Amino acid sequence: MNTIVVKIGGSMAEDRKCLEELAVDLKELAASGARVALVHGGGKDINRNLQWLGQEPRFVDGLRVTDSAAMDMVEMTLSGRVNKLLVRLLAAAGAKPCGISGVDGGLFGASPMRQDGALGQVGRVTSVKTELVEALWAGGFLPVASPVSLGPDGNSWNVNADDAAAALAGALVADRLVFISDVPGVLDQDKNRIPSLDPAGIEDLVARGVAKDGMIPKLRGCAGTVAAGVSGVVISGWSGPGSLGRILDGQSGTIIQAKP
């Protein structure tokens, strides 16, 4: 596998020990010759910083309302604090990281998530320019990307990190897109890990009520990413040093492919 996009979220993004382990795994993967990019969110950090400024987070239909003041904090948190923490950890592990955001080089272009303006500067990725990522790889760097994107008005827009990672993987026609968070993978009705799924298997889980709530759009999004040309999308948790290798070898997590 030559091109791998990794996205981290959940408590994984809050656990310093896990992040240090991830940094070592990413460094070793890049040293093996793979083209590796890391995409991150940071919702909990954003909430803390907004509250520190006396702003209570507001949500509409589960999406964060991001006015211009909140967008400033989102950008400072994601493209600043969180991004540079990950860059420092990767550098300490011996990697050659470079922190960027979706604004840099027009990496992610966004359009409004809702046309009525109820969400403010919240968007969805509508274009991806991979030139900057490919130039960094050519220079031996490991890109670390914040999902803050370039909106239609020329300002920074808030974009979901899962969606940004999927868009990047699709544009790169990646061999693997890996989502690492709090779940060990997709579970069956008996709470056992399902090693692999195809789109038909996903719809079967939905029809039987095994996949529910937020897992439904996540799984369907994974199926869409595979349809866009990504060879496989993996949903997995973290289980200590060497986890990334086990995930890519199919020993942990659930891989979604066109055919199992």
User: Alpha-carbon torsion 130, 149, 168, 258, what sign?
Assistant: negative
- Full-model pTM: 0.93
Tokens 């130039």 label which residue?
A: 135
Q: What is the separation of C-alpha 151 from the centre of its chain, rounded to a whole number of angstroms?
A: 19
One-letter amino acid at 207 equals A
CA dist list (Å): 152 to 131, 149, 157: 20, 10, 9
Phi/psi-derived region of residue 183, left when phi > 0, alpha when psi is between -120 and 50, beta in every other case: beta
Angle, vertex CA 163, rays to CA 31 and CA 131, nearest 5: 50
Domains of the chain are 3-256 (3.40.1160.10)
pLDDT in tens, the chain (260 residues): 699 999 998 777 788 999 999 999 999 999 999 999 999 988 666 667 666 666 777 777 777 788 888 888 889 989 999 999 999 999 999 999 999 999 999 999 999 988 888 888 999 999 999 999 999 999 999 999 999 999 989 999 999 999 999 999 999 999 999 999 888 999 999 999 999 999 999 999 999 999 888 788 889 999 999 998 999 999 999 999 999 999 999 999 999 998 76
Q: What secondary structure does DSSP assign to 80-123, as a single string? A: IIIHHHHHHHHHHTT--EEEEETTGGG-EEEEES-TTSTTBSEE
One-letter amino acid at 82 equals V
> Is the CB of residue 89 less than 8 Å from the CB of residue 19?
yes
Q: Which helix (H) or strand (E) holds 132?
A: helix 131-138
pLDDT of residue 10: 73
Tokens 């949500």 label which residue?
A: 59
Longest dimension (CA), the chain: 50
Q: What is the separation of C-alpha 260 from the centre of its chain, rounded to a whole number of angstroms?
A: 23
